[in-house]
Chains A and B, each alone.
Chain A
Amino acid sequence: MKGRNVAEAVEFKQIGSSPVRPDGVDKVTGRAQFGADINLPNMIHGRVLRSPHAHANILSVDLSPALEIPGVFAAISGADFPGGTLVGEASGEGGGSLDDIAKNVMARNKVVYHGHAVAAVAASTPRLAEQALRAIKVEYEVLTPVLDVLAAMEEASPLVDENNYTKLPEKPEKASNVANIGRLERGNLEEGFAAADVVVEREYKCPMAHQGYIEPHACVASIDESGRGTVWCSTQGHFEHRAATAKILNKNMADLKFVATEIGGGFGGKTVVYLEPLATLLSEKAGRPVKMTMSREEVFRATGPSSGTVARVKVGVKQDGTVTAAQSWIAFEAGAYAGAPHMPGAMSIYAPYAIENFVVETFDVLVNKPKVAAYRAPGAPQAMHAFECALDEAAVELGMDPIDIRLVNAAEEGTQAPYGPKFPPIGFKACLEAAKKHPNYLAPVPEGAGRGVAAGFWFNVGMQSSAEVNINENGTVMVIEGSPDIGGSRASMCLMAAETLGVSYEAVRAQVGDTESTGFCNVTGGSRTTFATGMAVTQACEEVIADCKRRAAMTWGVDEDQVEWEDGYAVPGPGVNADVNPLSLADIAGKAGRTGGPITARASINAQGAGASFSLNFADVRVDPETGKTEVLQYTAVQDAGKAIHPAYVEGQMQGGAVQGIGWALNEEYIYSEDGIMENAGFLDYRIPVASDLPMIDTEIVEVPNPSHPYGVRGVGETPIVAPLAVMTNAISRGLGKRMYELPLSPPRILERLDEDA
């Protein structure tokens, strides 16, 4: 990016403030339109018939009994989808191949998890649609499911997909449940472990956990008889949802307009399509708009959770805390289709540290469970949980402070990241130093409690973004972005536009454009939107400034390069002999007709130079030895955000990620019966934290600017969920005086551990 050196741009007028969020009032008053709030004339209701088996061949599907019911307008099954193999990949970690996404949307010859879609109907009422589902006849040949990741890796395991061969340069002779293998290595492990004074070798397990967004998946499709129409949906990326839907249905992408509604959480789980192709096809067949919404049970049974993992870690450490060698082996559950985030896990596990000798091997393994989807920093929480716990155990053995052992090994600018390149400026050491000085860390550990410490990391990404900036006649500013606003991007875009143009925050409005209103944007994910879409907005604003300077020059009769832009005004440059008054954006916009017409600019970019974000979290917890319940006494999250554009939103991301990570650590898990049926598919039995469970999460934002962004942004949404898993394990282990190795650290598991030595 040209034009601004963040190191010099320390005195911002708008950036770094936390104005009231523009969508807040609508959301608390119920005016905001979420996916299920869209209603159209003559709209009918779609429902999905889901497999009662975790693994079965589909012998036949008879839709005719459903279609005979008055009020049922359409019914579809796998046979209604275009044949052939789809080429290409869906977005996001866990996105996988489009061909797999198509089969996940609607099973063809085989169901591969309990809850897999087998057929769908559209009827005049939801109740009639449910009745129609019961009328559909499906014959199955039930197969043995494989649910355990280690069992699935064995040669004798039932195959989830008989056509899955481990992806290697040379195709293996036998099919396997292992879809992909990853490996990173450097140095010499043998020499590294020989140099160690302490070696810790452990196995850790993390369960599948759901993103737990409050709004279930929902959409409305209105397709006319020519196949053209509009789809409103709750999505992290309406452009990519449009592309996936068009490809799965073999439709012309230009015939479909996708509108992103307000979204009640996504966390990666709304980067892939589930209902949208079904509603589109049903609407086209029915000739009416079709609304489809999932129940919470369907969300649990059929939408992407994170991967469950088994991780084996060995770490060697010298007396002074230096890590001399690290070796890891991690099996990731992919669910029923390939696409577990095993490589991000491999690339992140040692990322905070400068380690000379290491190996990490990862495996993407099919099991008869829902296909995983991205979940905040996909792959990193599970992988780093294992290493951060082993490192903590080494620190205990050495008698070292857990922050000090991380300081000894901390990566910094110039350190070669385990995944290859040398780090540009990063803020991990700054986070460690800030945490060590934090009043919560300086305070003694409460009696009977344990304090846990762990690091977090995410790469952050750039990718493609578009934005438009239109200047209204009175000088107010309209920003149109193509990134769905999940974590406050409208406020952030307004702040960056206001800062760049030199106007007030209140003079700027932002809205999310549909796929026909603005240029392509990749999904809101990967902590990329404030970084990448913010770059596009800033660039468009700089074009507006250049245009305004040109118009001022025209007005004053001077050369364009004799005009400067200061605090929202065109002013004559130094030495220019022009007896004129500065022109505000409103002055120029009010007379735009005389200087060339409306003032508008756009930018479409593939943003490069995303900056990694590191964190250090710590917490004090106390376990009740009678019940096994863990009470979180304090939790502190320290994270390098780069420049925090809207600090309150940054804190919200840090707090939200911490709470989700604490939930994953303490209670959340998928519980399956032997035949592969999830037994806790609801929030009563799948326990996410609620406000009364936790103290206020304390935050400290560290700001080490990303030199590749005009305002120093790194991105904040992913990193906060990474550390809490190990923070909880380490805190409970230290509090109990017994190491814990398997999540969740639920009361039964803790009591079982306490009973082991009793």
Chain B
Amino acid sequence: MVRIVLSEQLAGFTGGERELSMEVDRYRDVVVRLLARWPKMHASLERTAVAIDGQIHQDALDAPLRADSEVFFMPRIEGG
């Protein structure tokens, strides 16, 4: 099962639930399932970055996931 950890900001849409497990093999499916359950999350999810197994992605739609992958949502970073 893929471990999903939501950011504090996204947890604001879930009533505080931060950790989930999903049987998915693509990041795209994580997004689809989150939005199916919490549609109001959409705009915030668009502006978030994600770390998959330690590697940070600004946009990871097609990224593959392993059965034991860890997916952390985090605020998007750019810099100066």
Contacts and interface: CB of A to CB of B under 8 A. Distances in A.
B26 interface: no
B78 A182 contact: no
A397 interface: no
Contact of A608 (B55, B72, B79): B55
B8 A525 contact: no
Interface string A260-286: 000000111101000000000000000
A184 B8 contact: yes
A610 interface: yes
B77 A608 contact: no
B12 to A, nearest CB: 4
Contacts of B55: 421, 424, 608-609, 708
B77 A526 contact: yes
Contact of B80 (A182, A185, A378): A378
Contacts of A375: 80
Contacts of A378: 79-80
B5 interface: yes
B75 to A, nearest CB: 4
B80 A525 contact: yes
B70 interface: yes
A718 interface: yes
Contact of B56 (A185, A266, A421): A421
Nearest to B75: A343
A405 to B, nearest CB: 26
A461 B77 contact: yes
Contact of A718 (B47, B63, B79): B79
Interface in B8-43: 8-9, 12-13, 40
Given A267-B80, A422-B70, A461 B58 contact: yes
Contacts of B54: 421-424
A288 interface: no
Contacts of A343: 75
Contacts of B45: none
A462 B8 contact: no
A505 to B, nearest CB: 28
Most buried by A among B51, B53, B60: B51
Nearest to B40: A169
A528 B78 CA distance: 9
B10 to A, nearest CB: 10
A684 B19 CA distance: 54
A168 interface: yes
Interface in B56-77: 56-60, 63, 70, 72-75, 77
A671 interface: no
A95 interface: yes
Interface string A511-538: 0000000000011011110000000000
A526 B80 contact: yes
A460 interface: yes
Given A271-B80, A377-B79, A378-B79, A420 B57 contact: no
B70 A528 contact: no
Q: How large is the interface on A (under 10, 10 to 19, 20 to 34, 35 or more residues)?
A: 35 or more
Contacts of B40: 169
B39 to A, nearest CB: 13
A609 B52 CA distance: 10
Contacts of A606: 58-59
Contact of A461 (B13, B47, B60, B79): B79
A462 B58 CA distance: 8
Contacts of B7: 420
* Chain A at the B interface: SS class: loop
A144 B78 CA distance: 34
Interface in A345-365: 347
Contacts of B53: 421-422
B78 A420 contact: no
A568 interface: no
Contacts of B80: 92-93, 211, 266-269, 271, 373-378, 525-526, 717-718
B72 A420 contact: yes
Contacts of A522: 78
A419 B79 contact: no
Contacts of B70: 421-422
B72 A421 contact: yes
Interface string A712-728: 00000110000000000
A667 interface: no
Interface string A80-92: 0000000001011
B59 A374 contact: no
Contacts of A269: 80
Nearest to A413: B54
A92 B79 contact: yes
A93 B79 contact: yes
B12 A419 contact: no
B13 to A, nearest CB: 6
Nearest to B51: A421
Contacts of A459: 56, 77, 79
Contacts of B57: 462, 608
Contacts of B72: 419-421
Contacts of A663: none
B78 A168 contact: no
Contact of A95 (B5, B13, B78): B78
Contacts of B58: 461-463, 606, 608
A420 B11 CA distance: 14
Interface in A568-622: 606, 608-610
B24 to A, nearest CB: 18
A455 B7 CA distance: 25
A184 B6 CA distance: 11
Nearest to A721: B80
Contacts of A424: 54-55
B78 A169 contact: no
Given A344-B77, A378-B80, A525-B80, 20 more contacts: A89-B47, A92-B80, A268-B79, A343-B75, A344-B75, A374-B78, A419-B72, A419-B75, A420-B73, A421-B54, A421-B56, A423-B54, A424-B55, A458-B79, A459-B56, A460-B79, A523-B78, A526-B80, A608-B56, A608-B57
Interface of A: 89, 91-93, 95, 168-169, 182-185, 211, 266-269, 271, 343-344, 347, 373-378, 419-424, 458-463, 522-523, 525-528, 606, 608-610, 708, 717-718
27 contacts: A92-B78, A92-B80, A93-B80, A182-B75, A211-B80, A266-B80, A268-B79, A344-B75, A347-B75, A374-B80, A376-B79, A377-B79, A377-B80, A420-B72, A421-B56, A422-B70, A424-B54, A424-B55, A459-B79, A461-B77, A461-B78, A461-B79, A463-B58, A526-B79, A608-B55, A608-B58, A717-B80
Which 4 pairs, one residue from A and one from B, show the smallest C-beta to C-beta distance? Answer: A268-B80, A526-B79, A420-B72, A421-B51
